[in-house]
Structure formats: C-alpha cells, structure tokens
C-alpha cells in the first residue's frame, strides 16, 4: 500500500502516514510499533455508523483483539463524564500497560482518546486515526489532548504524543460540506502563518487534498518539534484562534470552530496594520469568502474583549496575539490586554 510518511521527533518519535484508502493497512502499520496487544477503539456515533465495523474488521484481520467504545457525536461529548466512562471501560476490559487506545474520529474523539491514554495506568500508547480534515491537519498531530469543563473549552488536558497517526484521506469523502469547510479554515491558517506557496494553491478549489494535508502536517510537525510544550513558536498555530475562541464562546458554540477561526483571522488581519504590520485583510477575506465562510463577526469589540479575558494564552496583564506580517508570515505580538481592547474598538 502506497502512502506518504512524515516523521515527528518529539518526546515520543512517531510516524504520520497519509494516503487514500490506507485504513485497510492499519494492522500492518500498528504491528511494528505495538506488536501483539489489545486495542480499545474510541469513536463517535457518526463515524461508528459509517466506518465502525470496517475498522473492527481491519483490526481483526490483522490479528488484533479489539474492543470498541462509542460516544455521541458532538463537542458536548468532550467532557469529564465521558472521560471517566471511557477510563472505566478500559479498566473493565482489563487493558494493560502494553495495550493501546485507538482514537478513531474527529477532534473530540482524538482529544478525549489522547487524554484517556495519558491517564489510564499513568499512560498507555495511543494511535490517532483522524476522520475529519480539521483533525487530520491539526488536532491529531502534536500531542495536545483535552476535555472541556464548564469553566472553558480545553481547560483540562495534557501534552501526550501518539505512537502513530494513520490519516486516510478517503474517510473525508463522507464529511458534510460545513464540517469539511471547518478544516479548510485551518488549512488557510497554515498558508497564512508559514507558507505563501501553500496559500496560493488554495485559490484552486477544491484543492489537492492529499498534497495539502501532507503539507499542513509537515508545517505543524516542524513547529511542534521546535516548541512541543507551547512556550513560543507553537503559538503561531493559534492565528485567528484567540478571537475565534471568544466568538465560539459568545455563540455558546453555535458558531463552529472553523467558522470562528475564519472570523478571528480576519479580525487579526485588520489589527495588523494598526501595529505597523502589513494589510492583508482584504486578500484574506476574499479567499475565505471563496470557501463560503461568513466572515462577519456578529459581536461588538467589548463583547469579544470580555470573552477573551479568560483565554489560556493570557499571561498576567499581557496577551499574545498572532498577526500577519505578510501572506505566509505571521508573528507573535505580545501586548497589554488594555491595548488590545483599544485595537478591537478601532477595527470593529
């Protein structure tokens, strides 16, 4: 089976395999890493209905004894109750330290599965099998795991790298267009922050999925290798996210992550010239509109400001925002939160 492999050197070294239809070979990818072991597959109700039995057959035909746990699809499942329920399932199934978790789904499953693997028996291995574009290019790579708690999204989590990522791009064929588009916002983000050539290719819609996914993963790999624990350059991956998270929160998560990131990137691009950086807001807005994003913010500067005061990226009285210096080059810009309030009032 032909696939592209990208290797990551972090606290754990692992490969990311990318290709169309490669799920059929998942057993052959897992066995050199884990050998003979039991596998607990975590998935959601949507993925299970489409691909659950196929996955279990592929694992069984490769000689793996696997059990499956299904959570309801949706962000609400990324919660403490499901974390505890899945950990209890792992214990009931008597998984041992030499066994592993397979997170088969989008970002919710990947984050919950990864966190569970980092906690169960103080850490068992896990494999990411992303099924959405967003999970493929972002959440399945780099080892951030989390659940949401009532006080905020992703507030409880760990850095815990997977042992393998198996990214079968054919699984994305069945995604509803709005879910696929959510991933496109992250793809555009990669072009904006670090790769003008990638950005240019995105004007051709639809883009070459395998090539674009591989390039985004390469960019993320390079960033994670420099700053695995998110103390510096990894912050660039949050371009559009500081404002995006505020919009998600204000909408009570009615605005999807990708839609919110698209809006957030436009706000950041509008702020950039006020900080002496370039003005790419019109160019970026035009591309986002081509993808069908609604880039109107829908909230006032004060509402956004108040919502982002609880952002994880805030340190003391300062907040780090990511601003474009050019298409393909963003910078981290630290400023007092009060200054950001004034800038928001000017651009909105």
Work out how close the CB of 237 gets to ligand GLY at its nearest, in angstroms, rounded to a whole number. Answer: 4
**What single string gives the DSSP state of each residue in 230-250?**
SSSGGGGGGTTHHHHHHHHHH
- Running DSSP on this structure, what letter comes out for residue 156? E
**What single string gives the DSSP state of each residue in 84-150?**
HHHHHHHHHTT--TT-EEEEEESHHHHHHHHHHHHHGGG--EEEEEE-SHHIIIIITSS-EEEEEET
Distance spanning both ends of the chain, measured CA to CA:
51
Work out how close the CB of 164 gets to ligand GLY at its nearest, in angstroms, rounded to a whole number. Answer: 18
Q: Looking at 78-86, 104-112, 138-146, 335-343, which segment touches ligand GLY (CB under 6 A)? A: 138-146
Nearer to ligand GLY, 25 or 157 (CB): 157
Work out how close the CB of 36 gets to ligand GLY at its nearest, in angstroms, rounded to a whole number. Answer: 32
Nearer to ligand GLY, 142 or 244 (CB): 142
Residue 144 engages ligand GLY in binding (rule: CB under 6 A): yes
Residue 25 engages ligand GLY in binding (rule: CB under 6 A): no
Residue 270 engages ligand GLY in binding (rule: CB under 6 A): no
Work out how close the CB of 228 gets to ligand GLY at its nearest, in angstroms, rounded to a whole number. Answer: 9
- 48, 99, 138, 182: residue in contact with ligand GLY (rule CB under 6 A): 138
Nearer to ligand GLY, 230 or 303 (CB): 230
**Is the Cα dihedral 196, 199, 203, 209 positive or negative?**
positive
- Residue 314, SS3 per DSSP: strand
Angle between helices 241-250 and 257-271 (to 10 degrees): 130
- 52, 105, 107, 142: residue in contact with ligand GLY (rule CB under 6 A): 142
Quote the tokens at residue 13.
């070294």
- Running DSSP on this structure, what letter comes out for residue 160? -
CA distance 194 to 101: 33
| Closest C-alpha to 19, from 187, 210, 172, 305 | 210
Q: Looking at 11-19, 91-99, 137-145, 176-184, which segment touches ligand GLY (CB under 6 A)? A: 137-145
**What single string gives the DSSP state of each residue in 161-192?**
--SEEEEEGGGGGGS-HHHHHHHHHHHHHHHH
Work out how close the CB of 193 gets to ligand GLY at its nearest, in angstroms, rounded to a whole number. Answer: 11
Quote the tokens at residue 313.
């990226």
CA distance 144 to 82: 18
User: Which string of x and - marks every residue 223-262 that binds ligand GLY (by CB under 6 A)?
Assistant: -------x---x--x-------------------------
User: Which string of x and - marks every residue 28-67 that binds ligand GLY (by CB under 6 A)?
Assistant: ----------------------------------------
Q: Looking at 22-30, 136-144, 201-209, 284-292, which segment touches ligand GLY (CB under 6 A)? A: 136-144
Work out how close the CB of 50 gets to ligand GLY at its nearest, in angstroms, rounded to a whole number. Answer: 25
The site that binds ligand GLY (CB under 6 A) totals a number of residues, namely 6
Work out how close the CB of 142 gets to ligand GLY at its nearest, in angstroms, rounded to a whole number. Answer: 4
Strands 13-19 and 4-9: antiparallel
Q: Which residues bind ligand GLY (CB under 6 A)?
A: 138, 142, 144, 230, 234, 237
């Amino acid at each position: 089976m032909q696939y592209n492999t990208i290797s990551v050197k972090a606290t754990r070294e692992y490969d990311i395999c990318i290709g169309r239809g490669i799920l059929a070979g998942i057993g052959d990818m897992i066995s050199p890493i884990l050998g003979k072991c039991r596998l607990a597959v975590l998935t959601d109700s949507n993925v299970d209905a489409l691909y659950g039995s196929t996955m279990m057959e592929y694992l069984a035909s490769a000689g793996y004894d696997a059990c499956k746990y299904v959570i309801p699809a949706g962000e609400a499942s990324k919660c403490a109750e499901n974390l505890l329920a899945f950990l209890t399932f792992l214990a009931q199934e008597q998984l041992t330290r030499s066994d592993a978790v397979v997170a088969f789904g989008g970002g919710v499953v990947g984050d919950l599965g990864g966190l569970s693997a980092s906690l169960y028996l103080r850490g068992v291995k896990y494999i990411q099998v992303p099924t959405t574009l967003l999970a493929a290019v972002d959440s399945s790579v780099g080892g951030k795991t989390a659940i949401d708690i009532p006080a905020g999204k992703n507030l409880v989590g760990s850095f815990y790298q997977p042992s393998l990522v198996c990214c079968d791009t054919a699984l994305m064929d069945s995604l509803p267009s709005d879910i696929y588009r959510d991933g496109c916002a992250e793809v555009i983000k990669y072009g904006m922050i670090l790769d003008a050539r990638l950005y240019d290719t995105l004007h051709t819609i639809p883009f070459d999925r395998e090539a674009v996914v591989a390039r985004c993963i390469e960019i993320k790999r390079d960033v994670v290798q420099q700053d695995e624990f998110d103390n510096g350059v990894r912050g660039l991956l949050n371009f559009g996210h500081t404002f995006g998270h505020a919009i998600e929160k204000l909408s009570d998560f009615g605005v999807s992550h990708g839609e919110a990131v698209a809006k957030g990137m436009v706000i950041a691009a509008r702020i950039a010239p006020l900080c002496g950086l370039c003005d790419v807001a019109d160019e970026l807005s035009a591309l986002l509109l081509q993808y069908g994003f609604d880039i109107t913010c829908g909230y006032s500067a004060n509402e956004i400001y108040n919502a982002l005061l609880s952002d994880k990226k805030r340190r003391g009285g300062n907040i780090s925002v990511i601003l474009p210096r050019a298409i393909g080059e963003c910078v981290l810009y630290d400023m007092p939160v009060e200054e950001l309030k004034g800038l928001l009032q000017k651009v909105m």
